[in-house]
Amino acid sequence: MSRIGKAPISLPAGVEVSVSPSNEVSIKGPKGTLTQQVDADITVSVEGNVITLTRPTDQKRHKAMHGLYRALLNNMVFGVSQGYKKRQELVGVGYKATNDGNILDLTLGYSHHIYFEVPKELSVKTEQDKGKNPIITLEGSDKQLIGQVAAKIRSLRAPEPYKGKGIKFEGEVLRRKAGKTASK
């Protein structure tokens, strides 16, 4: 059984935490501010540079909420202090990505361009070097939002198993299938 909920969260320099009476935790740092509503049964306490979470009983629900909210708050602390980054690679002949501010212009082998608006909380960068696949880089402080936006971009042209064409995460290993074998 995991003991993640019992581990304290240490705050780096420049990160401030405030807990409202309605159990809403707000974390402010150099990369931005994030808020999270914590379940009423879980108690959040801030002592010096450490956040600790406690649960009232050992019921299964309380144990689950204890670990969940500890992990969410830890991700928020990391996000506002260092930030998160996801890189995606476009694999395919003629696949292109450019951006104008937070509008992403994708050419993915369809008969039209796809324009995707990235939320203003995130920043997007595109790289297109000669002889290499185009790269889309998402950066921000909210891990959940970055993952959701990256998954939405990936769903526009998911990688297929035969040629491997599509949008994949950098470093992702695709399971490839053998094609048809021609018999004579």
| Topology of the domain comprising 4-81 | Outer Surface Protein A; domain 3 (3.90.930)
d(C-alpha 61, C-alpha 48), whole Å: 29
Q: In this predicted structure, what is the pLDDT of residue 71?
A: 95
28-45 per-position pLDDT tens digit: 999 999 999 999 999 999
Cβ atoms within 10 Å, residue 78: 19
d(C-alpha 64, C-alpha 62), whole Å: 5
Q: In this predicted structure, what is the pLDDT of residue 180?
A: 85
Q: In this predicted structure, what is the pLDDT of residue 184?
A: 65
Q: Could you tell me the maximum CA-CA distance found in the chain, to the nearest angstrom?
A: 76
CB 85 within 8 A of CB 139: yes
Helix (H) or strand (E) holding 74: helix 60-81
Sequence ranges of the domains in the chain: 4-81, 84-169
135-156 per-position pLDDT tens digit: 999 999 999 999 999 999 999 9
Q: Is 114 helix (H, G, I), strand (E, B) or coil?
A: strand
d(C-alpha 31, C-alpha 38), whole Å: 22
Cβ atoms within 10 Å, residue 55: 21
Give the range among 6-15, 77-86, 135-144, 175-184 with minimum mean pLDDT: 175-184
Q: In this predicted structure, what is the pLDDT of residue 5?
A: 87
d(C-alpha 7, C-alpha 73), whole Å: 12
Q: In this predicted structure, what is the pLDDT of residue 3?
A: 84
CATH class (in words) of the domain with range 84-169: alpha beta
Q: In this predicted structure, what is the pLDDT of residue 1?
A: 40
Mean pLDDT of the chain, nearest integer: 92
Is 0.85 surpassed by the pTM of this model? yes
